């Protein structure tokens, strides 16, 4: 049993000042309790923010090289704990150990620190604009609130640029990703991050998130989560006029163009969706295919879904694990049931666990085909291994449906040439557009249009989120 009962505040491991409630840490593959997390309260947030505020002047004025040295020390400690982190992610959220935890979840977290190190000398920390000297300064004390689906990615893509910029911070990791969050805090401690610069408080989002966002000593709030959580944080932050950065939900379209190699494009789209059991805000969950080739595309997608191995995350051949928690399992089951009740044509999958699995939060890879973009399953974010296929008449119709969503985080376009894909990609209202199967790039800005969020993470844009511009006129 893992027990996490202390916060990390001002370089020390401290018990809560509050009467602590206990959250059970459940292995989603077995539904067994594997640990407990002791929640803190508003007083713990106050202690952490005070520590961050006290540490800010010295850290903000520290040299860029000293901050890069800290980032390098973090990478070194992170590498030492690589296997521990992979085991934690697999245990707490059911990520297949070899393919997902070791192959993606843990490496991408380290990648953000390596990217920040590489960017240090290329950021324009000081420039001339007319008669002014313009400098990028640390934005202040940051409240960081992160989710459970890509826990290390979403912690690291905030912490690394914040440290590089000279900010201090209070992190609230998801209670559903406490094991990896605890190890991350241990890494920061072992790397010698100065006391008060990095702090961790445990608690439930609805309880302490608003307090973090509204705290008068917090300058920046950065949240990754649902659109509802983003709206709540924005309301809490409004009275104190602080900067808010939000990376929220998505219902990403995947347009397969008429000239695309259909089997390759559809297969890659299906497998991309199923990565991380569909629990990615940028998952390509709406596949738009030419009306004349719908039947062919459906058959290819069914075959691709049948090729994955759903099961024990510790088995080396497992490609798809369970959903991360029981709450999400029930939500996905309800959405599948609703799609069936609304008349969506189910081609494979459905409610219930896959055959041979009688426990764990496993969901059958499921494919629906619907005639248009109006069905609930085509509009609501599912956050599970569920794909909706929709036919389009022509290119203009495909673009229209792709943009017919309240979200705008990511989009995917597959064409017979990069030129045809780029032409359509330029018409999509989304923060990222992946052309012809392109994967992630940690240098490229990540974030969304519309209700998918505000601001950008990753690369230089992610660093800029944690800075303020100061113009000094007449300085020379």
Among candidates 75, 109, 48, 91, which has minimal Cα distance to 187? 75
What gap in Å lies between CA 167 and CA 161, rounded to an integer?
A: 9
Q: Residue 288: enclosing H or E segment and its boundaries?
A: strand 286-290
Instruction: State how far the alpha carbon of 168 is from the alpha carbons of 20, 208, 219, 352, 426, in Å.
Output: 26, 19, 10, 45, 38
321 and 96 in contact (C-beta within 8 Å)?
yes
What gap in Å lies between CA 240 and CA 224, rounded to an integer?
A: 20
Give residue 151's Cα distance to chain centre.
Answer: 7
Tell me if residue 247 is catalytic: yes
152 and 85 in contact (C-beta within 8 Å)?
yes
Cβ neighbours of residue 271 under 8 Å, at least 6 residues apart?
304, 308
| Phi then psi dihedrals of residue 443, to 5 deg | -85, -20
What gap in Å lies between CA 360 and CA 30, rounded to an integer?
A: 5
DSSP result, 372-440: STTSHHHHS---SSEEEEEEESSHHHHHHHHH-SS--SEEEEE-SSHHHHHHHHTT--SSEEEETT---
Q: Residue 339: enclosing H or E segment and its boundaries?
A: helix 326-341
What gap in Å lies between CA 170 and CA 184, rounded to an integer?
A: 13
Q: Which of 77, 247, 381, 457 is catalytic?
A: 247
292 CB burial (10 A radius; 0-12, 13-18, 19+)? exposed
Task: With H, G, I as helix, E, B as strand and everything else as coil, classify residue 418.
Answer: helix
Residue spans of beta strands (DSSP E) within 291-365: 345-348
What gap in Å lies between CA 314 and CA 145, rounded to an integer?
A: 29
Among candidates 154, 453, 122, which has minimal Cα distance to 280? 154
Give residue 41's Cα distance to chain centre.
Answer: 25
Give residue 27's Cα distance to chain centre.
Answer: 20
To the nearest 10°, report the CA torsion of 357, 361, 365, 371: 130
48 and 199 in contact (C-beta within 8 Å)?
yes
What gap in Å lies between CA 461 and CA 158, rounded to an integer?
A: 11
Catalytic residues, which ones?
247
């Amino acid at each position: 049993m893992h027990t996490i009962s202390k916060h990390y505040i001002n370089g020390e491991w401290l018990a809560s000042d509050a009467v602590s409630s206990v959250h059970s840490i459940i292995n989603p593959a077995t539904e067994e309790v594997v640990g407990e997390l002791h929640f803190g309260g508003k007083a713990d947030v106050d202690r952490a923010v005070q520590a961050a505020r006290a540490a800010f002047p010295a850290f903000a004025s520290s040299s860029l090289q000293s901050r890069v040295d800290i980032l390098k020390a973090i990478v070194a400690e992170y590498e030492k704990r690589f296997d521990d982190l992979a085991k934690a992610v697999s245990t707490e959220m059911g990520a297949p150990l070899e393919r997902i935890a070791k192959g993606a979840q843990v490496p991408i977290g380290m990648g953000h620190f390596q990217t920040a190190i590489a960017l240090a000398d290329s950021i324009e920390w000081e420039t001339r604009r007319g008669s002014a000297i313009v400098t990028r300064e640390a934005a202040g004390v940051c409240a960081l609130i992160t989710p459970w689906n890509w826990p290390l990615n979403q912690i690291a893509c905030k912490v690394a640029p914040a440290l590089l910029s000279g900010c201090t911070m209070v992190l609230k990791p998801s209670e559903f990703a406490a094991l990896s969050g605890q190890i991350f805090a241990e890494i920061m401690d072992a790397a010698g991050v100065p006391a008060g610069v990095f702090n961790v408080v445990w608690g439930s989002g609805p309880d302490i998130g608003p307090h973090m966002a509204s705290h008068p000593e917090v300058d920046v709030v950065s949240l990754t989560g649902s659109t509802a959580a983003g709206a709540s944080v924005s309301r809490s932050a409004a009275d104190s006029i602080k900067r808010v950065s939000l990376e929220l939900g998505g219902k990403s379209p995947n347009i397969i163009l008429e000239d695309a190699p259909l089997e390759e494009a559809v297969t890659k789209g299906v497998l991309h969706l199923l990565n991380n059991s569909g629990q990615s805000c940028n998952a390509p969950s709406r596949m738009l295919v030419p009306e004349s080739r719908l039947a062919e595309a459906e058959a290819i997608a069914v075959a691709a879904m049948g090729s994955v191995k759903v099961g024990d995350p510790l088995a080396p051949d497992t490609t798809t694990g369970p959903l991360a928690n029981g709450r999400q399992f029930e939500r996905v089951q309800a959405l599948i049931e609703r799609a069936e009740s609304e008349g969506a044509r189910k081609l494979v999958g459905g409610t219930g666990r896959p055959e041979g699995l009688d426990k764990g939060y496993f969901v059958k890879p499921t494919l629906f085909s619907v005639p248009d973009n109006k069905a609930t399953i085509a509009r609501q974010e599912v956050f599970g291994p569920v794909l909706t296929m929709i036919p389009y008449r022509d290119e203009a119709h495909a673009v229209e449906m792709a943009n017919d969503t309240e979200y705008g985080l990511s989009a995917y376009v597959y064409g017979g040439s990069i030129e045809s894909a780029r032409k359509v990609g330029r018409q999509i209202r989304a923060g990222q557009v992946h052309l012809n199967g392109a994967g992630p790039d940690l240098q490229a800005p990540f974030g969304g249009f519309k209700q998918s969020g505000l601001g950008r993470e990753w690369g230089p844009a992610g660093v800029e989120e944690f800075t303020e511009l100061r113009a000094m006129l007449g300085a020379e």
